[in-house]
Chains A and B, each alone.
Chain A
């Protein structure tokens, strides 16, 4: 709290000491936080708790039991389909992330050497990121179409036979990763090139005067100095990739078979067709827990940075 004595009269000519007390501050806290708190409690916290309630019940079109213990958890945790979806999500996340980070850093380093036209190029690079993800995925779906897609026409020019890009399980996951690389690499370029430009030029010049070569600057200076920024960006992307839905839904719908059913897609399918309500809610709780583990892990990683 602020001491209200010993201040000179204010510029507005009001008497000092009109500073209201702690109770006024408390009331303002409640009033100011209430709308946000209500929104988050009703539409985020309550649904999460409701998931837990549903997961302990057995609610399906045919039954309605309000408590069955951990039966649903046993079903989900022993379901190879569920764990397969987690495995697909993990592969999709890691593959996209590693490639995007490498490409993004490379392009960002190149961008720092470009002076004339840099602004325009940066805007153009960013356009894929601005596209509505589901719309972009639909367009990729058409481009990869077996009969009428531009990609099969293009590879045909080189004498390569038409490939079932979205009907082959290996290709389909690759197509998903590719779509995300296309969409999200610019995000890394944007952040990393801003970070590179912000590195103190004096330090960089000093290193150059000391004879540091390009790769030495990169390994010993740029990467360590940008590490906090890299970690924040990676955190962002991991969370985003981990909960991907739009792109998968619009590009492959989880198919062929289950080969691109990331966890969000799997839960969606189980909700609509494959399973009963309580089963899907249980999957949601488990997925929530997995996300929490990933989030906490990355948060710790960020905090453990030397500073």
Chain B
């Protein structure tokens, strides 16, 4: 691992000047990290309590969910889940989850398909005002989604695509593309230019140079970018609230039901929360090692 080289030459000379008169404490035994373990474990316990609460409440019998004081021991019941997915209860959650899956997969594919070639162009090909484009792309990735919601609603309405996965897939892809371009380009920029030149020298077309030479070399970056898009589109709320009405994604479905209906069944709500949250937690843990660099704009190289 390596931190930005920028910092490394920035060791202030004052350190040794300040402390040099002290005797060198050789063989100082490393302090037992007991304090570290205690504090970190305490943080973990407290911060996981709400998650554990959500999971355990989702498997309580519906009558016990509201119990005060809380019932620590209860018969495990999957009634909440059964209600959640049964259409007899009027729950539409099954449809919401399907919509979430379709939108997440579609967005990820589309975002990667458009951003990888663009990264290639911005890295290797002659682009006028490359720096300006990169800055614009970076600024676009910081755009607050709320500011484009009104025009986008009109736009998709005119195309008759409201309440369809198409509107969400294209909108999400557009919102994620600036970051994925930035990230994948960061990885490509580290490939020695000679590789690009020798590929072309060997008679490869740009398309071959991209797919056969560059893509295999930036797989890690593409994985980080794709993971980022999966997480973002699975979690997205604002556009889903605006651009869909009956074909909700799961987060929008849950939140809209909650806001509109004060009497929402908490047990079912916990079950729905679990169904939304658990897959993405498991997914993120599974791909964790790809994530660090992606989440830090490539600032930490892993």
Enumerate chain A interface residues (CB-CB to B < 8 A): 2, 4, 7, 10-12, 14, 16, 18-20, 22, 24-26, 28-29, 31-33, 35-37, 39-40, 42-44, 46-48, 50-51, 54, 107, 110-111, 113-115, 121, 123-128, 130-136, 138-140, 142-143, 148, 150, 153, 182, 185-187, 190-191, 194-195, 197-200, 203, 207-213, 216, 220-221, 224-229, 232-233, 236, 239, 242-243, 245-246, 249-250, 253, 263-264, 267-268, 271, 277, 280-281, 284-285, 287-288, 291-292, 295, 299, 305-307
Q: Which residues of B contact A199 (CB under 8 A)?
A: 3
Complex Cα gap A26–B53 (Å) = 57
Complex Cα gap A2–B196 (Å) = 11
**Chain A contact residues, majority secondary structure:** helix
In the complex, residue of chain A having the shortest beta-carbon distance to the beta carbon of B66: A148
Asked whether, in the complex, the Cβ of B273 is within 8 Å of the Cβ of A29, the reply is no
Asked whether, in the complex, the Cβ of A211 is within 8 Å of the Cβ of B25, the reply is yes
Asked whether, in the complex, the Cβ of B11 is within 8 Å of the Cβ of A221, the reply is yes
Select which of A130, A253, A299 is within 8 A of B284 by beta carbon: A130
**Residue B147 at the A interface, CB < 8 A?**
yes
Q: Which residues of A contact B192 (CB under 8 A)?
A: none
Sample of 13 further A-B pairs with CB below 8 A, known A29-B126, A139-B50, A187-B295: A35-B114, A36-B114, A114-B36, A114-B40, A127-B281, A128-B47, A136-B50, A143-B50, A150-B53, A224-B11, A239-B142, A250-B237, A305-B6
Complex Cα gap A46–B170 (Å) = 14
**Residue B125 at the A interface, CB < 8 A?**
yes
Asked whether, in the complex, the Cβ of B117 is within 8 Å of the Cβ of A225, the reply is no
Q: Which residues of A contact B11 (CB under 8 A)?
A: 203, 221, 224-225
Asked whether, in the complex, the Cβ of A280 is within 8 Å of the Cβ of B150, the reply is yes
Complex Cα gap A50–B22 (Å) = 67
Asked whether, in the complex, the Cβ of A285 is within 8 Å of the Cβ of B3, the reply is no
By Cβ-Cβ distance, the 6 closest A-B pairs, closest first, are A243-B144, A307-B6, A43-B174, A50-B151, A47-B151, A36-B118
Asked whether, in the complex, the Cβ of A131 is within 8 Å of the Cβ of B302, the reply is no
Select which of A50, A132, A203 is within 8 A of B235 by beta carbon: A132
Q: B288 CB to closest chain A CB, in angstroms? A: 7
Select which of B10, B36, B41 is within 8 A of A225 by beta carbon: B10
Q: Which residues of A contact B292 (CB under 8 A)?
A: 190-191, 194
Q: B51 CB to closest chain A CB, in angstroms? A: 6
In the complex, residue of chain B having the shortest beta-carbon distance to the beta carbon of A306: B10
